[in-house]
Amino acid sequence: MSKSLLIVESPAKVRTIKKILGRDFDVRASVGHVIDLPPSRLGVDLENGFTPEYQVIKGKEKVVRELKKAAKGADAIYLAQDPDREGEAIAWHLAQELGGDRERYQRVLFHELTKSAIAKAVADPQPLNRHRFDSQQARRVLDRLVGYQISPLLWDKVKRGLSAGRVQSVALRLVVERERAIAAFEPQEYWTLAAKLAADQPPVFLGRMAKFDGKKFSPTTEAETMAALEAVKNAEFVVAKVKTSERKKKAPPPFITSTLQQEAFRKLGFAPKRTMGLAQRLYEGLQTNEGQVGLITYMRTDSHRVASEAVAEVRGLIAETYGKEYVPAKPPHFKARKGAQEAHEAIRPTSSRRTPQSLEGYLKKDELALYRLIWNRFVASQMAPAIYDRTLAEITAGPALLRASGQVLRFKGFTVLYAESKDENGTKEDPDGLLPPLAPEQKLTLKELLPKQHFTQPPPRFTEASLVRELEERGIGRPSTYASILATVQSKDYVKRQKKHLVPSPLGMMVSDLLVENFPQVMDVGFTAGLEESLDQVEEGGRDWRELLSEFYGPFSQALEKAKQDMRQIKGKGLPTDIDCPTCGKKMAIRLGRNGEFLACSGYPECKTTADFTRSAKGEVVLEEPAPDPGIDCDKCGAPMVVKKGRYGPFLACSAYPKCRNIRPLDENGKPAAKAEPELIGEKCPKCGGELVIKPTRAGGRFISCSNYPDCRYSRGVPVGVDCPKCGGALVERRSRRGKQFYGCDAYPKCDYATWDRPVPEPCPDCGHPFLLHKKYKKGQFLRCPNKDCGYQRPFEQTTDEG
């Protein structure tokens, strides 16, 4: 008996859906895209209507073969990729690659992976959406045209390995412009004057001076402020007016992609990429007391719409849990932003009855934290507003008018469950305190006058949360792209994360400036937002995708040709500065090295003077004083040693370089560190027969090397006494490019097994796994079995030197 074939994107979904659909369906995964543009060339036919030259992704040949085999015996094929543009593209590509009668292919949209939603979607399939596919195809080609043609230009002009992107470069520009605005900011002085007052009943409260001599009180100097203080310090403080009102604070809407990323960053400290990875798992389904079940609706959405069934369920839950007074008379309505895809729902639990408490034994810590955040936000969004009693009082004091305000929470409403976080530049949630009972003509007692000096503050640096909000507000990118945009600008070292803030690197600022100079249209925020709207129009069937690409490519190709000639040449020449070379007097230029920026004489190679520099708060280049002569001679050739800066900080290097390459580390006090004696391991070098020794690395690690170095360059990692579980080789200590220690197989690259946790040669007492892992958490250190199905763990007690 033939089955229906249903293809999803991820294997995790397969497990969830198989249990629901049963034996009549063969459920398989494409594991994401199966075809794409070629990775090594442009792959777009510019002479033939921008036709993409698709090919099967390397490594996906087996997946395609197995899907073709399954499709041959299927009476119907359901393409159940994600309900967005990327999912639509995968569905179209699968239909093209699997071939056969097109009428067999049906599109199925799962907005949530629950029994009822899956059954409903399969019972009511849709045709493939050509317009949505064209929109994704246009975006893919646009990104390829920009990235694959500007990036090689940056390699030629600046540094190999750089990249540019149609949207990522605009995001970089926002970060760079914010940094420049901070550097250019000039603080302005201003003052405030408040009076600490007492009425007949407590509490003591503050009245802030609002007017003086009938004009708005906004002093900018201490003299103005003290003049006002002198005028009122002996005056009678009298209540002139009291106004009471009711203030309602409505619940925030349920999450969409951008607000989930922002709130997860503020409340949980999750980067957007981490948030989306966790949300993907919650959506695709996890093991619970009900079995494998999808816990949230689809997480890439910009719509606040909620299904009527979900609203009815949560209103019943609120009434049972908190009382009927917490259920509003009508379900709240949340206005969607312009261009939102209302076919999607907001991000919500698939069932509000599935409380976070009921999942505590099943989800991992971070999964549960994100689920609780989504659950709390959704339930709160359907609750009644919080109600405050608000009082505003005006108080006269001689020539001055003061104002005081206060409020009291009368009904908690949604705040019983949820409080929305704010960014640094947000306003305080409830700045007002409590006021005592006040009445007109009531006399008050002055306790103290409080003059205070202030300075205006620069705009804050972006955090990942506030940059996502900025991108959304400006119409740059879409819900599916925010996380990848932020990850890309950081992975390319254009932007560094300092604590919670995003700070552009000098390289990022240089690249942004060059792109703005040479590609003003591509880097224009308004133009990029307009392209997003055009792509939406393609999806809605209101615009032809090839016409859109043609309109973009004409001006872009002209700018590209001009940039090849006019873009400043940084590689080899550097970025000019006004600093004179201390050796020959020519101007110094900023050059890019392996360890960052440095100053080099523009007269190179005749003058080889280099120097380190810093940047002032205004971004100006400041020449660093050269390091003092350490007064140490090279122990190999006798030439003087000099202080150099490298990836891991300052060190001593022979001045006779490159003839002599001797270096010595410096200790924490800047003094030459004593050389550690190599540790003999009792083995002979397999290359030359010399003694093998353990040596330290500059990054703080260790490795095994031949004692005849540099004549013999044999080396290998230090073994940890554990065999590789993948191939049987030895696991050894290794260091990542950023200097972080990990443990990998010595057969690399033939075997790619690796772990961040140190393997310990002790079998698991529960399942017999040949080794345990030394895990380090904030709460302590543990030995844990690497077998995911085992779960054995015990506190770690160090008895030997782990190196």
Query: What are the pLDDT digits (tens) for 466-505?
Result: 999 999 999 898 888 899 999 999 988 899 998 889 999 8
Query: What are the pLDDT digits (tens) for 22-56?
Result: 888 999 999 889 999 999 899 999 999 999 999 99
Contact (CB, 8 A) for 297 and 346: yes
74-79 β-sheet, strand order: 25-29, 3-8, 74-79, 105-107
Question: Where is 696: in which H helix or E strand?
Answer: strand 691-696
Residue 562 has a pLDDT of 95
Integer Cα distance of 115 and 124 in angstroms: 14
- The 3-class SS string of 723-739 reads ECCCCCCEEEEEECCCC
Integer Cα distance of 611 and 625 in angstroms: 8
Is the pLDDT reported for residue 208 higher than 90? Answer: yes
Q: Bigger pLDDT: 485 or 778?
A: 485
Is the pLDDT reported for residue 648 higher than 80? Answer: no
Contact (CB, 8 A) for 249 and 420: no
Residue 2 has a pLDDT of 65
Contact (CB, 8 A) for 135 and 341: no
Residue 413 has a pLDDT of 96
Is the pLDDT reported for residue 717 higher than 80? Answer: yes
3-state DSSP call for residue 232? helix
- Closest to 167 in 3D by CA, of 433, 471, 374: 471
Is the pLDDT reported for residue 803 higher than 60? Answer: no
Using the Cα atoms of residue 723, residue 729, residue 733 and residue 739 in order, give the sign of their dihedral.
negative
Q: Where are the alpha helices (DSSP H) in 382-481?
A: 464-473
Mean pLDDT of 99-121: 88
How many other β-carbons are positioned within 10 Å of the β-carbon of residue 723? Answer: 16
Residue 178 has a pLDDT of 95
Query: What are the pLDDT digits (tens) for 696-710?
Result: 776 667 889 998 888
What is the length of the chain?
Answer: 803
Least confident of 71-85, 272-286, 588-602: 588-602
Phi and psi (nearest 5°) for 706?
-80, 140
Q: Bigger pLDDT: 671 or 659?
A: 659
Residues in CB range of 59: below 8 A, 6 or more apart: none
Angle at 151 between CA 146 and CA 153, to 5 degrees: 110
Is the pLDDT reported for residue 314 higher than 80? Answer: yes
Provide the b/e sequence for 624-653 (b: ≥16 CB within 10 Å): eeeeeebeeebeeeeeebbbbbeeeeebbb
Mean pLDDT of 685-690: 92
Is the pLDDT reported for residue 318 higher than 70? Answer: yes
Q: How confident is the model at residue 798 (pLDDT cuts 50, 70, 90)?
A: low
Phi and psi (nearest 5°) for 161?
95, -5
Both structure tokens of 473:
């507000």
Residues in CB range of 198: below 8 A, 6 or more apart: 204, 444, 445, 447
Question: Where is 222: in which H helix or E strand?
Answer: helix 222-232
Is the pLDDT reported for residue 431 higher than 60? Answer: no
Q: How confident is the model at residue 522 (pLDDT cuts 50, 70, 90)?
A: very high
Is the pLDDT reported for residue 199 higher than 70? Answer: yes
Mean pLDDT of 506-530: 93
Mean pLDDT of 253-264: 95
| Catalytic residue ranges | 298
Query: What are the pLDDT digits (tens) for 146-160?
Result: 999 999 999 999 988
3-state DSSP call for residue 444? strand
Residue 343 has a pLDDT of 63
Residue 432 has a pLDDT of 62
Q: Please classify residue 211 by burial: count the beta carbons closer than 10 Å to its beta carbon, then call 0-12 exposed, 13-18 middle and 19+ buried.
A: middle
Integer Cα distance of 339 and 699 in angstroms: 50
Integer Cα distance of 202 and 504 in angstroms: 51
Residue 1's Cβ-side half-sphere holds a number of Cα atoms within 13 Å equal to 5
Residue 46 has a pLDDT of 94
Residue 22 has a pLDDT of 85
Residue 430 has a pLDDT of 43
Q: Measure Cα distances from 248 to 18, 405, 420 in Å.
A: 47, 16, 15
Q: Beta partners for 454?
A: 190
Mean pLDDT of 372-397: 97
Q: How confident is the model at residue 423 (pLDDT cuts 50, 70, 90)?
A: low
- The 3-class SS string of 737-802 reads CCCCEEEEECCCCCCCCEECCEEECCCCCCCCCCCEEEEEECCEEEEECCCCCCCCEEECCCCCCC
Integer Cα distance of 583 and 574 in angstroms: 18
**Mean pLDDT, the chain, integer:** 89
Mean pLDDT of 652-680: 80
Report the percent of the chain where pLDDT is more than 70: 95
Integer Cα distance of 172 and 488 in angstroms: 10
Residue 480 has a pLDDT of 82
Residues in CB range of 619: below 8 A, 6 or more apart: 179, 180, 183
Q: How confident is the model at residue 135 (pLDDT cuts 50, 70, 90)?
A: very high
Q: How confident is the model at residue 658 (pLDDT cuts 50, 70, 90)?
A: confident
Residue 567 has a pLDDT of 93
Q: In angstroms, what is the C-alpha Rg of the chain?
A: 33
Using the Cα atoms of residue 481, residue 484, residue 486 and residue 492 in order, give the sign of their dihedral.
negative
Residue 341 has a pLDDT of 61
Q: How confident is the model at residue 100 (pLDDT cuts 50, 70, 90)?
A: confident
Phi and psi (nearest 5°) for 404?
-135, 145
Mean pLDDT of 635-658: 84
How many other β-carbons are positioned within 10 Å of the β-carbon of residue 284? Answer: 24
Least confident of 496-505, 516-525, 786-795: 786-795
Residue 802 has a pLDDT of 43
Contact (CB, 8 A) for 541 and 131: yes
